[in-house]
Amino acid sequence: MMISSKEDRQEDEIVANQYTFKRKEMKYLLSKEQYLAFMDRIKDMAKVDAYGETSILNIYFDTPDFQLIRTSLEKPVYKEKLRLRSYGVPTDETNSFIEIKKKYKGIVYKRRISAPYKSSKEYLYEDIPLEKQSQISAEIDYFKKCYPGLRPAMAISYDRIAMAGTCDPELRITFDKNIRWRTNHLDLKYGNEGREILEKDQYLMELKIAGAMDLKLVSILEELDIRQISFSKYGRGYETLLSEQLELAGHKQTVSPEEKEYAIA
């Protein structure tokens, strides 16, 4: 069931995450058959959360020359992103999240604050200060100063099914489908407009763990021939954009296999 308004979920997210966490995130691209088989195998290990399928909308921010995503594609030891997120299409008063996502030596760190969508947008688009200040908002202020000209660069949306471990509370499993991107209408009120990133009936799965992976889970992945990949939704959108810009410029070039390999989270 699709959920267009997520006020209750957002409040739960604030309490559960307390604005910050660190973990390992591993990504896998599944066919429909692999997805169904995997869901059957893990039914005793993890359960779908109470919200079912959720629509997640994001705006990624970058410099005019896409410095942040270009740096990310070079596979540095450290990289960072800034995004604005809502669960479902927001109104001005819908709770939204401003997030800094950092990755250092394979460990993902997320810092986030919440505010009404109108306030979040004014802060990120127009530099109007937020009403509530905190350590994390100060970090976001510093992030903005480090990247002059930061502006909304790409919208990424997808439908997500989230699962939590039944025995291991640190285990999170998510499945994303209908992943779309666009560089126009950079406002979350436009919903899931955009162009598809995945092929039909493909799922992007993310395993999010605090420590070592459960051996049973490792065995299931091997049994179903599910292999870890490097994948970035924003990176894939940027690859397509870059390729199309080169073609329009008359170069008739495409992104090389090596550059595609750089599209990591």
**In-domain check, residue 253:** no
**In-domain check, residue 255:** no
**In-domain check, residue 259:** no
Helix (H) or strand (E) holding 76: none
State the 10-residue block means of pLDDT for the chain, 265 residues long. Answer: 41 44 90 97 92 92 96 92 97 97 91 96 96 93 96 98 91 96 97 95 95 92 97 95 86 53 42
Helix (H, G, I), strand (E, B) or coil at 144: helix
Task: Determine the Cα–Cα distance for residues 260 and 265; give it in Å rounded to an integer.
Answer: 12
**In-domain check, residue 107:** yes
pLDDT at 95: 96
Task: Determine the Cα–Cα distance for residues 42 and 211; give it in Å rounded to an integer.
Answer: 19
Q: What share of the chain is helix, strand, coil (3-state, %, to 5)?
A: 30, 35, 30
Query: For the chain, what is the domain count?
Result: 1
Residues 6+ apart with CB under 8 A from 246: 252, 253, 254
Cα 112 from chain centroid (whole Å): 13
pLDDT at 13: 42
pLDDT at 177: 96
**In-domain check, residue 236:** no
pLDDT at 247: 83
Task: Determine the Cα–Cα distance for residues 193 and 216; give it in Å rounded to an integer.
Answer: 39
Residues recorded for the chain: 265
pLDDT at 19: 61
Helix (H, G, I), strand (E, B) or coil at 260: helix
**In-domain check, residue 110:** yes
Residues 6+ apart with CB under 8 A from 153: 60, 61, 62, 66, 69, 183, 186
**In-domain check, residue 237:** no
**In-domain check, residue 262:** no
pLDDT at 16: 38
Which CATH number does the domain housing residue 175 bear?
Answer: 3.20.100.30
Expressed as residue numbers, the domain containing 13 is 2-231
Contact between residue 98 and residue 140 where contact means Cβ atoms under 8 Å apart? yes
